[in-house]
Amino acid sequence: MTPRILVADDQPDILQALRLLLVDAGYDTDLVSSVDAVIDRVSAQPYDLLLMDLNYTRDTTSGREGLELLDRVRARDAALPVVVMTGWGSIDTAVEAMRRGARSFVQKPWDDTTLVDVVQREVAEGQAARRRDTRFSRDYEEARQIQRALLPAAMPTLAGCQVAARWTPAAGIGGDCYDVIRFSDTRLAVSIADVAGKGLPAALLMSNLQAAVRAFATASADPHDVCGSVNRLLCRNIASGKFVTFCYVVVDLAAHQVLYANAGHNPPRLIRADGRIDALGTTGLVLGVSPDWTYTTGTSPFHPGDRLVCFTDGMTEARNPADEEFGEDRLAALAAATRAGSAESLADVLTRTVIAWTAGDAQDDATLIVVESV
């Protein structure tokens, strides 16, 4: 399609001269002569470029109207390339226009060849940027769908046990992950991890981690062995300066206990039936730092009425508008105080409370798993 340019100037003769020049260069043009008309046109349809004057009131040479208009245009279409023109330009005005988002600056009277060259360059770069944004948005959405598909589609069912999970990435995709693996009618494993960083790099590392956990988490593997195997694999593939916090818990309903290895992750809480709160503390270094690190397995009782609450720091480090953290103690106390209901209802209460705490402005990925012995 022929690129379309919106030209804005308060002088009719300049508008017509620019129309002739740009049409001859192969562009469609729309002409407007006021600030309000620019906003109306930009709001109504897409353009490949805005070529705009900085002065719209006679005897005004400060460019202030145009600079304010530039802010309004950028608020409506941040990707629209803008070239500003003024007959009373100065280097200070040019710098200010560029700071506010203009791509180029042309001073009147213009040189036809130079102006057309500037327009051609900015239109081409703007179109390329929009194509990249569209492609990135499509790839980003596909990555989000793939990442979500890697997580459990449904929680496994065991007699005498309820499991619920919530996964809320802050930006569509992220570095939190979890898994729940059923070994038998009385045994299952829960893993939860937080990859350092955000966005696509963290999501790629998360996918690698998820595959490794599923490869090594067998019914006969002890938690410390799973941690050690996953750690050695990650150390061969992880980028320098990156790491993963990770916790792997085996719930054994027949033996009434949990076995766990915690690689620097937020200690999961065991909420006892009598209200006591225990923590499954660290048993080794974060993953991806030292391939020779030796992890240990911890054990803790797990009786009917007990609940295991695993979480990432997106839950506990969530901040309210007053910049206060939600905190691990507050999360554990809320879980202990919420006695009635199922694992699903407890997961809902904890998640809703954290969202309300942040006023809906999540700063980090947040993941939560609740396992209840009933």
What residue ranges define each of the domains in the chain, with the CATH number in brackets? 4-141 (3.40.50.2300), 151-373 (3.60.40.10)
Residue 302 predicted with pLDDT over 70: yes
pTM of the model: 0.65
Q: Quote the pLDDT of residue 168.
A: 82
pLDDT band at 312 (very low <50, low <70, confident <90, very high): very high
What residues does 188 pair with on adjacent strands? Answer: 182, 251
Token pair 């499509």 is at which residue?
A: 138
Q: Do 366 and 354 meet the contact criterion of CB atoms below 8 Å apart?
A: yes
Higher-pLDDT residue of 331, 131: 331
Over range 262-279, report the average pLDDT: 95
For residue 240, pLDDT over 60 is answered with: yes
* Prior bond of 109 cis (ω within 30°): yes
Per the CB < 8 A criterion, the answer to whether 334 and 364 are in contact is no
What secondary structure does DSSP assign to 284-308, as a single string?
BPPBTS-TT-----EEEE--TT-EE
| pLDDT bucket at 331, cuts 50 / 70 / 90 | very high
Among 22-31, 150-159, 163-172, 302-311, the minimum mean pLDDT is found in: 163-172
Which backbone phi and psi does 8 adopt, to 5 degrees?
-125, 120
Q: Compute the average pLDDT of residues 215-237.
A: 94
Model pLDDT, residue 94: 66
CA gap 10, 51 in Å, rounded: 12
- Alpha-carbon distance of 71 to 54, in angstroms, equals 12
Per-residue model confidence (pLDDT) at position 5: 96
Residue 202: what pLDDT? 73
Under DSSP, the state recorded for 7 is E
Average pLDDT score, the chain: 88
Single-letter residue type at 145: Q
Q: In this model, does residue 251 exceed pLDDT 70?
A: yes
- Chain segment 48-103, per-residue pLDDT in tens: 999 998 877 654 555 678 888 898 998 888 889 999 887 655 566 766 777 788 88
Q: Is 289's pLDDT higher than 80?
A: yes
β-partners of residue 50 are: 6, 82
% of the chain beyond a pLDDT of 90: 59
For the record, the structure tokens of 238 come out as 């992880």
Average pLDDT over residues 164-185: 85
pLDDT at 372: 96
More confident residue, 173 or 206: 206
Q: Which residues sit opposite 246 in a β-bridge?
A: 193, 264
Q: Which residue has the higher pLDDT, 345 or 131?
A: 345
Rounded distance between C-alpha atoms, residue 52 and residue 84, angstroms: 5
Q: Quick one: average pLDDT of 290-294?
A: 92
pLDDT score recorded for residue 242 = 77
352 token code pair: 């809703």
List the structure tokens of 157: 């069912």
Residue 285 has pLDDT above 60, yes or no: yes
Average pLDDT over residues 96-111: 82
Burial class (CB in 10 A: 0-12, 13-18, 19+), 251: buried
Distance CA 185, CA 206 (A): 29
Per DSSP, the three-state class of 51 is strand
pLDDT for 61 equals 53
Write out the two tokens for 228: 């050690």
Residue 366 phi/psi, 5° resolution?
A: -135, 125
Q: How confident is the model at residue 105 (pLDDT cuts 50, 70, 90)?
A: confident
Binned at pLDDT 50, 70 and 90, residue 273 comes out as very high
At residue 332, does pLDDT exceed 60? yes
Residue entry with tokens 């930009």: 42
